């Protein structure tokens, strides 16, 4: 096998990987995770690209002090962010699968 054929194959693989990553990122922008805190008193919907789409606060919680409400909102957003990160990592790993990349290198894309 000559070097030109190897270079062409590498370029095809690179384009395929770039397309897979682009598609995965587009899918992640549409994928939503749902999290809650305080036993469901605060609910958050977030995309896997970390865009908060909705925050729901139970009317009964609104009678409590602001510090507690703020803490529950932060907890729900942090939980949603962790879920989004897990989904994103799995999706990107899937996008890079079969590319023959060494462990650790696939995480760069």
Please check whether residue 58 lies inside any domain of the structure.
yes
Q: Which tokens is 39 given?
A: 């036993």
Q: Domain of residue 61: give its range.
A: 32-97
Helix (H) or strand (E) holding 85: helix 66-96
CATH number of 74's domain: 3.30.1310.10
What gap in Å lies between CA 64 and CA 59, rounded to an integer?
10
Residue 105, C-beta contacts closer than 8 angstroms, at least 6 positions apart: none
Q: Based on the structure, what is the number of domains in the chain? A: 1
In a domain, 4, yes or no: no
Task: Please report whether residue 72 resides in a domain.
Answer: yes
pLDDT tens per residue across span 35-69: 999 999 999 999 999 999 999 999 988 887 888 89
Per residue in 65-92, pLDDT (tens digit) is 888 899 999 999 999 999 999 999 998 8
Q: Is residue 107 part of a domain?
A: no
Q: Is residue 53 part of a domain?
A: yes
- The whole-model pTM stands at 0.70
């Amino acid at each position: 096998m000559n070097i030109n054929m190897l270079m062409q194959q590498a370029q095809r693989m690179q384009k395929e990987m770039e397309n897979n990553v682009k598609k995965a990122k587009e899918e992640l922008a549409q994928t939503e995770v749902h999290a809650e805190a305080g036993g469901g008193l605060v609910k958050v919907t977030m995309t896997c690209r970390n865009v908060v789409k909705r925050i729901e606060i139970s009317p009964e919680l609104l009678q409590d002090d602001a510090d507690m409400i703020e803490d529950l909102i932060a907890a729900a957003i942090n939980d949603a962010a962790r879920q989004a990160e897990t989904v994103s990592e799995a999706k990107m790993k899937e996008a890079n699968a079969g590319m023959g990349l060494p462990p650790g290198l696939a995480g760069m894309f």
